[in-house]
């Protein structure tokens, strides 16, 4: 794939298990823009000891969720860095309607080219995640469809292969419900602004990337 030199500013939405992280990395490479993930940003801000980083650390150390205005501060600092001057891809932000409105207020109405929403049916992501099994020693990933050759002993290290607590169907459905409650209103709002493209996230990873690129090209090309 040839990188497209046109600067793009993209948001990527998608619930857990939709393949958002994988596609975000691919799109950022394709367009030559930084892949900015909220988790990475928070860790970097904490490490660098910025004002927002220190506040965020205090809040997280107290076991609380980082408030919208703190998140926005971290995003604002990140987007001001040189590598984001001509484009960026945000992954994991905005997570709420308020964060979405804050972002538009920060970058301006023309400051976002497109938000893409990776659409994968709930039953598909529940199956993807709840079938996952992980080596408790080395972290190697298996699934009920592709187990280690000697169940359930890791082929790589001999460790025990287990289902993580976070990967049970109950835990997955709980997180999907939180996404539906907190994030879908933000997705819908970007739709109302005429900034949203919904893309089929099922099937082959390369095919999904091409669908995303087609949606972006039809907007910014
Ligand atoms: Zn292992």
Residue 60 confidence class, pLDDT cut points 50, 70, 90: confident
Measured in angstroms, how far is the CA atom of residue 134 from the centroid of ligand 1?
A: 8
CATH of domain 9-33+86-220: 3.40.50.300
Q: Where are the alpha helices (DSSP H) in 8-153?
A: 20-31, 38-48, 51-61, 68-79, 97-107, 122-130
Measured in angstroms, how far is the CA atom of residue 138 from the centroid of ligand 1?
A: 4
pTM of the predicted structure, to 2 decimals: 0.83
Catalytic residues: 20, 95, 132, 164, 175
Measured in angstroms, how far is the CA atom of residue 37 from the centroid of ligand 1?
A: 28
Measured in angstroms, how far is the CA atom of residue 73 from the centroid of ligand 1?
A: 39
Residue 6 confidence class, pLDDT cut points 50, 70, 90: low
Q: Where are the domains of the chain?
A: 9-33+86-220
Cα–Cα distance measured from residue 101 to residue 111, given in angstroms and rounded to the nearest whole number: 12
pLDDT tens track for 154-166: 999 999 999 999 8
pLDDT tens track for 36-48: 998 777 788 789 9
């Amino acid at each position: 794939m040839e990188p497209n030199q046109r600067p793009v500013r993209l948001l990527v939405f998608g619930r857990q298990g939709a393949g958002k992280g994988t596609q975000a990395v691919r799109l950022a490479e394709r367009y030559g823009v930084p892949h900015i993930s909220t988790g990475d940003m928070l860790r970097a801000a904490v490490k660098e000891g910025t004002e927002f980083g220190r506040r965020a650390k205090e809040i997280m150390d107290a076991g609380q969720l980082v408030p919208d205005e703190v998140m926005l501060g971290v995003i604002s600092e990140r987007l001001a860095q040189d590598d984001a001057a001509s484009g960026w891809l945000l992954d994991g932000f905005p997570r709420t309607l308020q964060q979405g409105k804050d972002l538009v207020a920060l970058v301006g109405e023309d400051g976002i080219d497109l938000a893409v929403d990776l659409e994968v049916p709930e039953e598909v992501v529940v199956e993807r995640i709840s079938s996952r099994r992980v080596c408790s020693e080395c972290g190697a990933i298996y699934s009920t469809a592709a187990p280690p050759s000697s169940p359930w002993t890791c082929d790589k290290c001999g460790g025990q292969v287990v289902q993580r607590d976070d990967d049970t169907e109950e835990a997955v459905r709980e997180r999907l419900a939180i996404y539906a409650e907190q994030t879908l209103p933000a997705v819908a709002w970007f739709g109302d602004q005429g900034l949203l493209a919904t893309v089929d996230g099922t099937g082959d990873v390369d095919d999904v990337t091409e669908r995303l690129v087609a949606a972006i090209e039809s907007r910014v090309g």
